[in-house]
Structure 1
Amino acid sequence: MKYIRNAYLIFFGLILGLWSCIEEIGIDTELKAQIDVDQVLVVEATLTNELKPQLVTLSRAVSFLNDSIISFDETEPALSLVPREEVNEKPVLYERGADVRVRDGQGTEIRFIEGEPGRYLSETAFAAESGREYQLLITTARGEVLQSQPEFYSGESALNNIYAERGRNEFDEEGIFIYIDGTDLQGQSEYFRYNYEETYKIIAPLWTAVEFKLTNYDPCALPVITYDLDVVPREQEERVCYNTRASENVILNSTENLDGNSVERFPVRFISRDDFIITHRYSILVRQFVQDVDAYSFYQQLDEFAKSESVFAQVQPGLLESNISFEDGRMTPVLGYFSVASVSESRLFFDFEDFFDGEPKPAYIVNCNLQSSPEAHVSFCSPGLTGRSCPPSVVERVDIDVISYIDQNNGGFEAVCPGPYIFVDRICGDCTILGSNVVPDFWIED
């Protein structure tokens, strides 16, 4: 859902600059200021026919005019700003302390409880039932009351087959296509949305069975620094890891103009043969959602706005209409769509050799160059300390955990300022930088 949320924000940026169809290139900053971006609620909610705790995620659109927020919102304690794990990812301003409920067509209400910031799980597991209406009800910690239009699903389909084939994309780039086949079970399914989770094995290319251990380090001791540096067996698995990440784009398909409602050979993913993630073993779980035409239209417009290369496009805010609104009728936009959908899923595994047997594997995610530097450094509190010509010492780097041990340097390795050890950047010898050393429950090797 990360891409979908980012797409909301891209679209809202267009709203700020294009409150009506653009006729002049200049953007009126005073007009932007009329909308408090941090007041805009972002709602991510899809109920499915799976028996499980259902999820609603609430957040606020972080201001485009000021992206310096780095901690909790001091004026709104209900807003918890949580950094994302991805490198260079801007933080998400999660909405905390909201009352979230879903009411069905028979008047039964299911309460959602906040676990992680902004993530609300249903108090009890339930599955959406075909033909039954559901309505999302939200009361924020600020006292705002929102509700969705009643929604339901009526069609179901099966994701029958998932398979991979070697091929070339429209840019003549060689790689792997992930295709799916699906069958309509009731003759009512025409609009589909897909997402996926991919998991891949990571093997640290320059892993060794031992590591540095630094204790009693005082970089400011005088006349010289004090420390104990040892090379000891590793305490945990750091050679083989696994990383899982979710799809970041809107994937839609429609059989509206086809003779039948079956989905055949639909490509949900293309992976370049040079992509690091398929170096060893790769798995993908694809989920197929059957949705109505309104939900399909919403996500289609969202995708088009997110892919727009020019903010000076002929865009009107009303084209992307949410089915969630404030109970008091205020005109503040709500970004998001509450949908009810049936879902089916399937998982695929493959190894690099299954398609590129005997061919060079993709390069590692970074260059892993051997390095060496002096073991210690001059005391940081030494009088008259000035700049130095050598790279940071081994103890400095071990202290901040950025290198992995390779071997002793017995004089055969040349460097600008060689030291007694050869090492690499930690990412080259410790896979936990890129993933988890816990084998996923679903993982199989054959």
Structure 2
Amino acid sequence: MLLQISCTEPYEIETVDFESVLVVESTITNEVKPQVVKLSKTSRLEDPEILIVNNATVTVSASNGDNYSFYWDSESDNYLSEQPFSAAPNTSYILKIVTSDGKRYSSTAVTLPPSVEIGELYAERIVDATDNKDGVQVLVDTEDLTGQAKYYRYEYEETYKIITPNPSPYISEIINYNPSTGSYEVVLTPREPEEICYSTEFSSGISQITTTELNENRIFRFPVRYLSKFDAKLQTRYSILVKQYAQSVEAYTFYKIIDELGSIESLLSQGQPGYVAGNMVSEANPQEKVLGFFEASSMTSKRIYFNYEDFNLEKPPYFVDCDLLLLDYRDNTSLDNDPDEREIIYNYLTYYDYQVVSFAQNFLYTIAKPECTVCTSFSSNVKPSFWED
């Protein structure tokens, strides 16, 4: 009986009843910028591919008579407004879509909620044995004294500085390789070591809160981002830009249901959790299912910086293990019960993009992984315009 209860058999999830449905995701804000509309189609559970919808005609019309056309941007796989614009107060907006097969869709009219500034954005050391947490928690405080804004959604952009532990001062190239003898030459060209890089990542998932369930119209210590003390992003210097969106009750409710159904990272994720009625409809057939929501939202943001030392943390480990390999080119046999180090040098430099950290005239090479030697192998050495050291 114990065996029967404790053993489970793997089960392959398959789509039983599939219906191709248009997926719409768009939030226009009070920021003057190219606004974004994302279109896709639902896909089967066993199909990991995101079915992007292109060649559609996308427009946003405003009650004040303004109309904004969108174009397909192949780089982002999104539709971007041809001209930057911002959603204005006391103006309603309707999203209209005409797909390549002539189907027409439109949203209900949406208006911009009142704008609410982020009160405080701060980070604290948190140790919680119950949740097995020890690290840094980023928190938000917000209060709307007018009492008009009650629904909020949060996103963030995190940027962190990377310092390469073993910068490589060379560009290496293997020439004159002789497969029969295994001999070759390593040409080392001096270069400026790429030591410092900056990476930016964006939040995923749905993070919302409402003050309707609180005693006052105030958000206090709302957790936006948690970083473990072992997170390599804290290795040097870390910055987070938190965006606060004031939402309508309809938008809040829609995303709350989506989050509860599947905690999906985005409406455009490949596995849709099921049909949730939004505010998009087919003009020809109101019974046709359309998944998604078009909303207007007031956005405010704040940025903070911090280092691991600010919280009395030890320096976290690097993103990968950075063992240095000291290899002898003259060792070209394994008959001595020792690996063929000449072959290892060739394979690591040729196939795994290892970089030379140092070189001795007696043909001793010190090499390491690209992530440990050249930070541009996984990041960018362009310093962001907003960065502060």
Structure 1 residue runs without a partner (length 5+): 1-25, 68-90, 309-315, 379-387, 412-418
The one-letter amino acid paired with 2:365 is Y
The one-letter amino acid paired with 2:213 is N
Corresponding position: 1:31 with 2:16: yes
Supply the distance in 1 between the matched residues of 2:14 and 2:205 (Cα, whole angstroms): 30
Supply the distance in 2 between the matched residues of 1:152 and 1:438 (Cα, whole angstroms): 38
Secondary structure class of the residue paired with 2:259:
helix
Question: Percent same amino acid at aligned positions?
Answer: 33
Supply the distance in 2 between the matched residues of 1:204 and 1:28 (Cα, whole angstroms): 43
Supply the distance in 2 between the matched residues of 1:367 and 1:27 (Cα, whole angstroms): 35
Equivalent residues of 2:172, 2:355 under 8 A apart: no
2:305 to 337, 341, 349: 349
Supply the distance in 1 between the matched residues of 2:24 and 2:287 (Cα, whole angstroms): 16
Superposed CA deviations along residues 176-216 of structure 1, whole A, max 9, x for unmatched, are 111112232642100100000000011111224x1242154
Q: Which residue of 1 aligns with 2:40?
A: 59
Supply the distance in 1 between the matched residues of 2:198 and 2:35 (Cα, whole angstroms): 26
The one-letter amino acid paired with 2:368 is V
The one-letter amino acid paired with 2:16 is L
Equivalent residues of 1:374, 1:393 under 8 A apart: no
Equivalent residues of 2:205, 2:263 under 8 A apart: no
The one-letter amino acid paired with 2:167 is W
Corresponding position: 1:166 with 2:125: yes
Distance 1:228 1:332, change over 3 A: farther
Supply the distance in 2 between the matched residues of 1:433 and 1:389 (Cα, whole angstroms): 28
Equivalent residues of 2:24, 2:293 under 8 A apart: yes
Supply the distance in 1 between the matched residues of 2:125 and 2:12 (Cα, whole angstroms): 47
Q: Which residue of 2 aligns with 1:299?
A: 255
The one-letter amino acid paired with 1:52 is K
Q: Which residue of 2 aligns with 1:195?
A: 155
Q: Which residue of 1 aligns with 2:188?
A: 231
Q: Which has the higher strand share?
A: 2
Distance 1:63 1:317, change over 3 A: closer
TM-score using structure 1 length: 0.73
Structure 2 residue runs without a partner (length 5+): 1-10, 265-272, 333-337
Supply the distance in 2 between the matched residues of 1:108 and 1:122 (Cα, whole angstroms): 13
Distance 1:142 1:374, change over 3 A: farther
Compute the displacement of 1:335 (Å). Answer: 3.1
Superposed CA RMSD: 3.0
Corresponding position: 1:420 with 2:371: no
Supply the distance in 2 between the matched residues of 1:132 and 1:376 (Cα, whole angstroms): 76
Compute the displacement of 1:106 (Å). Answer: 3.4
Supply the distance in 1 between the matched residues of 2:13 and 2:208 (Cα, whole angstroms): 35
Aligned length: 363
Q: Which residue of 2 aligns with 1:8?
A: none
Q: Which residue of 1 aligns with 2:279?
A: 323
Equivalent residues of 1:100, 1:138 under 8 A apart: yes
Which moved further from structure 2: 249-258 or 188-197?
249-258
Secondary structure class of the residue paired with 2:114:
coil
Secondary structure class of the residue paired with 1:159:
coil
Distance 1:317 1:422, change over 3 A: closer
Superposed CA deviations along residues 358-399 of structure 1, whole A, max 9, x for unmatched, are x52111121112224565999xxxxxxxxx964753233323
1:271-286 to structure 2, matched below 5 A, reads 271-286=227-242
Q: Which residue of 2 aligns with 1:94?
A: 52
Corresponding position: 1:442 with 2:354: no
Compute the displacement of 1:410 (Å). Answer: 8.1
Supply the distance in 1 between the matched residues of 2:24 and 2:308 (Cα, whole angstroms): 38
